[in-house]
Every structure is written in C-alpha cells, then in structure tokens.
C-alpha cells in the first residue's frame, strides 16, 4: 500500500512536468514561427545589406532615312583662273538615279547660282531628256546650249553639265545630244568632243 501511494505521489508531478514541457515546446515553436514571419516581412536596411542596382534598359537607336547627295556645279572666277565649285543637294536614297540627276540638272540650267558664283550656260537652255542605263548617262539638251560665247565659255558650260551629272558616280560615261543629235563639236570655234565623255577625258583635253 505504501508503495502504491509513493507511485501516485511521484507520478502526478511527473505528468505535470511533461505537460509543462509540451506547452513550453509548443509555445517556443509558435514563437519561432512568428519571429521567422516577422523577419521575412521586415524591410531590408540598404545601409547594412548591399543590393544589386537595377539594370537600365538602353533605348534602341532610331532608324534614320538613308540619303544620297548630288552636286550642282557652278563657276567661280578668281583673277585669271576659273574654278569649278559645287552646291550639294540631299535627296532620299529611294529616289531613282535618273530622277535625282534630272533635278540637279534642271537646277543648274535654271541659272541661279549663289552671288559669288556664275554660269556660262545660256539662258533658256532646257533639258529635253535624261536616261541612265548600264552604259552610262544620256542627255538631250535644247539648241540654246550651243549658243554664243568663245572657247572659255564653251569649256565652262561643258564642265558644269558633265560634273553635275557624274556627281553620283564620277566614273560614269556621258553622251550629250542637242535636239536629239550627238554633240560632236561645241560652238563656232569647234570644241571637238569624243562621245562618250568622262571626267578623265575632260581633264586630259580641256582647261577651265
């Protein structure tokens, strides 16, 4: 009987201790779970935790319209010498070559250079036709192109036309017709031309 009482006496505190331990363990688990959640939601202090800066997306370069340039040639008298000078005109690359050269030549024939420059192309000269093919450039000018002036004037106007229409391709060959007929001599003094003519031909045979 005494042993049974002792067993009961010690069993009650033992059970109580186990209960307390379980409660404590459960409370500790709950506290740890709460602490972990708070830490996860806590804002990061940038002073103590370095972060990787965000990558900035660079804007893509905007496409630009492709262009090509044609030159209109004028004359610049300087003392006893005449220089060939150019004015650049920019057009979109999609414009056909024959159209670009037509625009340039029509501006040249209009005879309106800048104040410092001049032209020896006679007033009223018209472009009757312009064609570009694999062989080169074919021009048809009105009769006024051959009117008046001496050899210097004839050489100057030939240079203006030739260098203007070959400004896109300096190696181009050029056929010049007047009223549909090949221009084999120019002016009353008989400036002889061998067609087709190129820039190299001009530089070898004529002087401004």
pLDDT: which is higher, 186 or 175: 175
Q: Model-level pTM greater than 0.75?
A: no
> Which among 70-79, 135-144, 145-154 has the top mean pLDDT?
135-144
Per-residue pLDDT, 43: 47
Give burial (CB, 10 Å; 0-12/13-18/19+) of 72: buried
Residues 7-19 have pLDDT tens digits of: 444 444 444 444 4
- Average pLDDT across the chain, whole number: 77
Q: Which residue has the tokens 């779970």?
A: 33
Any residues with CB less than 8 A from the CB of 113 and at least 6 apart, and which?
74, 75, 87, 119
57 pLDDT band (50/70/90 cuts)?
very low
Q: Are strands 174-178 and 136-141 parallel, antiparallel or unpaired?
A: parallel
Residues 12-45 have pLDDT tens digits of: 444 444 444 444 444 444 444 444 445 444 444 4
Residues 72-87 have pLDDT tens digits of: 999 999 888 899 999 9
For the cut 50, the answer to whether the pLDDT of residue 96 exceeds it is: yes
For the cut 90, the answer to whether the pLDDT of residue 188 exceeds it is: no
């Amino acid at each position: 009987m005494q042993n049974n009482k002792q067993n009961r006496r010690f069993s009650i505190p033992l059970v109580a201790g186990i209960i307390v331990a379980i409660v404590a363990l459960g409370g500790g688990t709950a506290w740890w779970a709460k602490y972990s959640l708070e830490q996860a939601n806590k804002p990061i202090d940038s002073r103590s935790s370095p972060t990787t800066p965000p990558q900035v997306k660079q804007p893509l370069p905007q496409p630009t319209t492709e262009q090509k340039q044609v030159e209109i040639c004028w004359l610049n008298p300087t003392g006893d010498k005449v220089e060939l000078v150019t004015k650049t005109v920019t057009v979109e690359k999609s414009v056909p070559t024959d159209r670009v050269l037509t625009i340039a030549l029509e501006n040249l024939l209009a005879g309106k250079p800048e104040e410092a420059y001049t032209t020896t192309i006679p007033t009223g000269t018209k472009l009757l036709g312009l064609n570009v093919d694999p062989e080169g450039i074919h021009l048809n000018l009105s009769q006024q192109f051959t009117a008046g002036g001496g050899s210097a004037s004839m050489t100057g106007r030939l240079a203006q036309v030739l260098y203007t229409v070959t400004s896109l391709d300096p190696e181009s060959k050029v056929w010049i017709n007047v009223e549909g007929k090949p221009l084999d001599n120019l002016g009353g003094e008989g400036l002889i031309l061998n067609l087709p003519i190129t820039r190299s031909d001009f530089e070898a045979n004529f002087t401004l």
